[in-house]
Structure 1
């Protein structure tokens, strides 16, 4: 087994060392800010009593998916609380929310840019392929070197791993907007920004929501991996079971991740599905709202 890296690996190491030497203070400031945000989010969620969170999730499930799924949500969250994993679940939920919000804040504008510019889209696809095919463990190494152990490198590694779906599906959704809608917008004299906000983004919303759904699922899949660098939450519980070869602890932690993933998956999926159903009016019906939108 070769214990030394090649010229490519040495270049990567030198690049990281260059970043630490010249931008170390910037990374420290960013790490402190992001750590404060994640900690505040986690403390805010932890301050909400379990039964209040349970009622909120059940009500949301009843609104979006119906009574059967709301019963499942109640039983799933009750099982998580019964296993004594509610605090770990809140910590995991805070990490996933932070990573998802940051992924959307970066990924949606990149997806729009890639849809508007073909050359940018080609370059971006290559970068996204690299991000998706690189093993998740590899992201942890530079994250830990630049930001130390804890939730900050876990969030950043999760962002890199989970952002590609929302970029791809935003680009796809905007490119699949029907040409007749774009022509109608141009005929009303709309600007590029009006076209984007009033036609392209609303019609691409089902695809964007599918990207949000996939981003959340990929962020959850990083939970156990990120626990290796001090992310905490359910992943740390699973990692503890692996280290101690404790089947019970490992199963309970894994079950908590699965139940949380199912709940978040079905809820986020419901927004995209219902929007997709509403986005299928006939040509005559679609013309009236469009004309009203550009009348102002």
Structure 2
């Protein structure tokens, strides 16, 4: 067997160089992420729990029907009853921040991929790498660049969760029927008008499927990110595991499941036609 390729050494040198030369950039990114998480946290913690629960239940009923409305009402009141409301809102703030950053990054990249085959060919292997790399590996560089706490958890969540938004934005735009594109061209529409008035509206269901997956992956990752200091339900689950408290772990896990189901069903129904929403 020949000499080992020093991949680990190359990676460590690259990380050291980035840490030493781009500290100002990482500080700027950290301040934006911390501010966004803080803003979402204030928003979710401000109203009394019962007010927010009722509002979410009404929204769920109007968006997806009676069953989801009842489930949201009972499930969220159960979270409050178990004493996990504050931590659930902390988790939701992390998920919304991760999802927002993923959407802001993912939508333009997906559109660029759809409009440029070369970009798609370059981005696709990167997405494959991001989706197949074990999630725990993302925590290492995140901690190296940003230390412990909320910021590295959000960064790791974004890396893990952004690929579906990019992939499905690209797919949705590419699946718009060619005859509609030709019709738009025949009316003399500009490239921007064709994108926003033809391709984007028709691709919206596929785009929302990608955003839905991104939100779910963000939720799964912020729980893992509790290992590096991210607060919320993940910290409760992690503490229960390390202390072998099965009951407390089950309660915290149940809160995560309820939150995941509510977020999943709501995002699935936001842009569905009205006739398809209620079952």
How far apart, CA to CA, are the structure 1 residues paired with 2:211 and 2:273? 15
* Structure 2 partner of 1:174: 173
SS in 2 for 1:250: helix
* Structure 1 partner of 2:126: 127
* Structure 2 partner of 1:20: 19
Deviations along 1:35-78, one digit per CA (max 9) or x if unpaired, are 12211221221112111111110111111111121011100001
Q: CA deviation at 1:273?
A: 3.8
Q: How many residues align?
A: 274
The 5 A counterparts of 1:25-40 are 25-40=24-39
User: TM-score scaled to structure 1, two decimals?
Assistant: 0.90
* Structure 1 partner of 2:249: 250
* Structure 1 partner of 2:202: 203
Whether the 8 Å CA contact 1:206–1:276 is kept in 2: the answer is: no
Q: CA deviation at 1:179?
A: 1.2
* Structure 2 partner of 1:52: 51
SS in 2 for 1:222: helix
How far apart, CA to CA, are the structure 2 residues paired with 1:194 and 1:275? 26
Q: Does 1:229 align with 2:262?
A: no
SS in 1 for 2:262: helix
The 5 A counterparts of 1:1-296 are 7-274=6-273
Q: CA deviation at 1:120?
A: 0.8
Structure 2: which 5+ runs fail to align? none
User: TM-score scaled to structure 2, two decimals?
Assistant: 0.95
Q: CA deviation at 1:276?
A: 11
Structure 1: which 5+ runs fail to align? 279-296
Q: CA deviation at 1:102?
A: 0.5
Whether the 8 Å CA contact 1:154–1:226 is kept in 2: the answer is: yes
* Structure 2 partner of 1:287: none
Q: CA deviation at 1:7?
A: 0.8
Whether the 8 Å CA contact 1:210–1:272 is kept in 2: the answer is: no
> How large is the Cα RMSD of the aligned pairs?
1.6
Which aligned segments of 4 or more residues in structure 1 are displaced greater than 2 angstroms? Answer: 271-278
